Amino acid sequence: MPHILAIDQGTTSTRAILFDATMTAVASAQEEFTQHFPASGWVEHDPMDLWATTAATCRAAIEKAGGVEVSAIGITNQRETTLVWDRATGRPIHNAIVWQDRRTSALCRRLEAEGFGEVVTDRTGLLLDPYFSGTKLAWLLDNVDGARARAEAGDLVFGTVDSWLVWNLTGGAAHVTDATNAARTMLYDIRKGRWSRTICERLNIPMSMLPEVRDCAADFGETRPDLFGRPIPIRGIAGDQQAATVGQACFEPGMLKSTYGTGCFALINTGDMPVRSHNRLLTTIAYQLDGKPTYALEGSIFIAGAVVQWLRDGLKIIRDAGETQPLAEAADPTQDLVLVPAFTGLGAPYWNAECRGAVFGLTRSSGAEEFARAALESVGYQTRDLLTAMQEDMRRAGGAIPADTASLRVDGGMSASAFAMQFLSDIIGARVDRPKVLETTALGAAWLAGQRVGIYPAQAEFAAQWALDKTFEPAMDEDTRAAKYAAWQRAVQATISV
């Protein structure tokens, strides 16, 4: 039986999952890697950690499955994280600068003051923000000794994590990316489908560094024979949130999904129409097949599952994520702690890179239970911020594409928490649908590769196979919902104003 190997390279760990011909996961392996924080607001990864954990988890998953035939590989990855390496040796010139990193805030403010933000939004659909790859790449060229001269000589290449993995998987034979990852660099014109010379010139980035952009399901090369015993074709790539959109079968305009990993990312399919946001959301590419992009509006929250990691590693009040639910359920209902997890700034719809986290409503009896509840609730509040902005943008677009906010499809690790998902349903006042396959990001990458090589069904049949695990219905009365959300809004504004 043929199998598809999905590589899911995330912010805190790398996973490899083998799917069989029925798209059922049959084996997996996962490895965490070290996070580096060289300064306040700076976040880095060792590029060799990303590659080593990818190679190791792929081998481990194949071994667990008994050495089955792997017909193709699909890759999904943390987006915006920026790497530069030597074209000849494949050696990185610096640590990877992670999407959460805010070191280019001053550069972004200066470019915005010069009026360049409108150029960026018009061409890329993004905001001029440190979140994206463009200013990270400019920083590397300006701050690593000799980097700019080497780049201008054609000796250096740039890539997001997918490009870095493909380069290593193919032994340097392929320097490629897909349209969804390209769309997150702040260097790619999403309407014209090409790198923007205007933006590259303004950031002083040699275009010779940039990878070739292909569809999400395409020929991305073959792995080196020595890695897995024989060459394996790489046939699918999508950034993690776009892969989750595919895995959730959100193929129709108006369909909406939210993924809860390290961050939280909500996307609404807008079809062949790139909708311009008036609420600081992002216009982006949901997926691109057969040369045709499908667009989306996206809201990005920097801290979702990471807030649970903070409870574990920062406050040390839990040992693993599973402890948060019983703690939250035991919290004192008379205490109304509000946690604004702006540890690396606030994402959509605020886009404030400078503010930092805050807790409101503390009393002498506030303890682990109340902190756990506030942490889980913060994710629901932030999701409501995104959905409210999406609804307004869709209305302003003329209602041609309805925002189907009667239901929200969720996935990712935090969606396993019944407490978090019930509060989410309560605070947004809508149904939350959790699928049987929570790892929809990996499934999306697998489907892209599998349908490309003829193993998996076409889009319509794949969508028909989407299966529901559990529905959460809102149980909170409207007055309570309004009061709690108003308290959240006051907390956010107080945090921003500090």
Which of these ranges, 50-54, 245-249, 385-389, has the smallest mean pLDDT?
A: 385-389
Which two three-digit tokens encode residue 328? 């939250």
Pair 8, 153 in one domain:
yes
pLDDT of residue 189: 97
Domain that holds residue 390: 249-435+467-498
Output b/e per residue, 50-63; b: 16+ Cβ within 10 A: bbebbbebbebbbe
Residues 433 and 484: their CA atoms lie apart, in Å, by 23
User: Which H, E and C letters describe 236-270, residue by residue?
Assistant: EEEEHHHHHHHHCCCCCCCCEEEEECCCEEEEEEE
- Please tell me whether the peptide bond between 349 and the residue prior to it is cis, using omega within 30 degrees of 0: yes
Pair 212, 332 in one domain:
no
Q: What is the mean pLDDT of residues 364-390?
A: 90
pLDDT grade, residue 398 (50/70/90)? Answer: low
Pair 235, 357 in one domain:
no
Pair 101, 150 in one domain:
yes
pLDDT exceeds cutoff 70 at 480? yes
Output b/e per residue, 127-147; b: 16+ Cβ within 10 A: bbbbbbbbbbbbbbbeeeeeb
The owner of tokens 């993924």 is 259
pLDDT of residue 399: 57
- Does 126 map to a domain? yes
Number of neighbours of residue 270 by Cβ within 10 angstroms: 24
Q: What is the mean pLDDT of residues 62-89?
A: 94
- Does 125 map to a domain? yes
Pair 311, 427 in one domain:
yes
- Per the prediction, the chain carries an average pLDDT of 91
- Does 461 map to a domain? no
Q: Name the domain boundary from 187, 221, 239.
A: 239
pLDDT of residue 415: 85
pLDDT exceeds cutoff 60 at 310? yes
Q: What is the mean pLDDT of residues 135-158?
A: 96
Q: Is 138 left (phi over 0), alpha (psi -120 to 50) or beta?
A: alpha
Pair 94, 125 in one domain:
yes
pTM of the model: 0.86
Residues 3 and 373: their CA atoms lie apart, in Å, by 41
Q: What is the mean pLDDT of residues 144-166?
A: 97
User: Which H, E and C letters describe 376-397, residue by residue?
Assistant: HHHHHHHHHHHHHHHHHHHHHC
- Does 444 map to a domain? no
pLDDT grade, residue 354 (50/70/90)? Answer: confident
Q: What is the mean pLDDT of residues 306-316?
A: 86
Output b/e per residue, 307-329; b: 16+ Cβ within 10 A: bbebbeeeeebbeebebbbebbe
Percent of the chain with pLDDT over 90: 67
Which of these ranges, 11-20, 218-227, 301-310, 473-482, has the smallest mean pLDDT?
A: 301-310
- Does 445 map to a domain? no
pLDDT grade, residue 475 (50/70/90)? Answer: very high
Question: In CATH, what number is assigned to the domain containing residue 312?
Answer: 3.30.420.40
Q: Name the domain boundary from 239, 270, 299.
A: 239
- Does 459 map to a domain? no
pLDDT of residue 340: 93
Q: pLDDT (tens digit, 9 = 90+) per residue, 203-216?
A: 999 999 999 999 99
Pair 268, 208 in one domain:
no
Which two three-digit tokens encode residue 204? 């002083």
Pair 181, 218 in one domain:
yes
Residues 231 and 288: their CA atoms lie apart, in Å, by 26
Q: Name the domain boundary from 184, 216, 239.
A: 239
Q: pLDDT (tens digit, 9 = 90+) per residue, 402-458?
A: 555 567 899 888 888 899 999 999 999 989 999 888 788 899 999 999 999 999 999
Total domains in the chain come to: 2
Residues 310 and 368: their CA atoms lie apart, in Å, by 12
Pair 159, 15 in one domain:
yes
Which of these ranges, 59-63, 183-187, 234-238, 350-354, has the smallest mean pLDDT?
A: 350-354
- Does 441 map to a domain? no
Q: What is the mean pLDDT of residues 92-97?
A: 97
Q: pLDDT (tens digit, 9 = 90+) per residue, 229-238?
A: 899 999 999 9
pLDDT of residue 169: 98
Q: What is the mean pLDDT of residues 309-321?
A: 85
Pair 311, 214 in one domain:
no
- Does 253 map to a domain? yes
* Residue-by-residue DSSP string for 90-136: --BSSPEEPTT--TTHHHHHHHHHTTHHHHHHHHHSS-S-TTSHHHH
Pair 306, 208 in one domain:
no
Pair 191, 315 in one domain:
no
What is the dihedral sign for C-alpha 381, 385, 387, 388?
A: positive
Q: By C-alpha distance, which of 468, 462, 432, 433 is closest to 448? A: 462
